[in-house]
Amino acid sequence: MTTNLSQYDANTLPSADVLKRQRYAIIVADWNSDITYPLAQGAIDTLLKYGVQEKNILVQHVPGTVELTYAAGRLVPQLEGSAFVSRCYDAIIVIGCVIQGETPHFDYVCQSVTQGVSILNAKGVTPVIFSVLTTLNKQQALDRAGGKLGNKGVEGAVTAIKMANL
């Protein structure tokens, strides 16, 4: 049985004094916006709730889920000479929603974004948090975008905070 996974122990998060100095980026796909926008709002609200300043949250929109990787890659520091440039963001959250249809397009999109985020994380510079729903139908997505199974955007924000403060 699936349960609401958006519950967590707030005591495991750093203090607001730490978080007020940190910067977070949220990249949200406009495709399936009735799902992705509530996910993004859940992430924003959670970051603000724990002390991240509004001015330190970048929200960037891209057309679809495949484009999340490119946008996140633009925000991850690249190798410059023999060292990485300093991080602009303490963590990046990518938010999308892919609902299975009648063609293999679902598989290609899911594989593309999963592989892209994995490659970005393998660089080990800025954590990129995967908050992409991959569901069999719209109801499953709605249940995870503020419905009976919580809000995966909230989970993405909590994960981003934890990963930024390892």
Q: How confident is the model at residue 12 (pLDDT cuts 50, 70, 90)?
A: confident
Catalytic residues, by residue number, are 105
Residue 80 and residue 135: Cα distance in Å, rounded? Answer: 39
Predicted pLDDT at 136:
96
Pairing of strands 24-29, 91-99: parallel
* Residue in the structure block whose two tokens are 């490659």: 119
Contact by Cβ (8 Å): 24, 56: yes
Taking the complete model, does pTM exceed 0.75, yes or no? Answer: yes
Q: How confident is the model at residue 79 (pLDDT cuts 50, 70, 90)?
A: low
**C-alpha distances out from residue 18 to 13, 21, 50, 164, Å:** 10, 6, 10, 11
**Dihedral Cα 66, 22, 141, 118, nearest 10 deg:** 40
Contact by Cβ (8 Å): 97, 36: yes
Q: Which residues pair with 99 in a beta bridge?
A: 135
Q: Which residues contact 37 (CB under 8 A, 6 or more apart)?
A: 28
Q: Comparing 29-38, 100-109, 124-133, 153-162, which segment has the lowest mean pLDDT?
A: 100-109
- Classified as helix, coil or strand, 30 is coil
152-164 and 33-49 helices cross at what angle (nearest 10)? 40
With residues binned 3-state (H G I as helix, E B as strand, rest as coil), the percentages for the chain, rounded to 5, are 45, 25, 35
Predicted pLDDT at 85:
57
Q: For residue 84, is pLDDT > 60? A: no
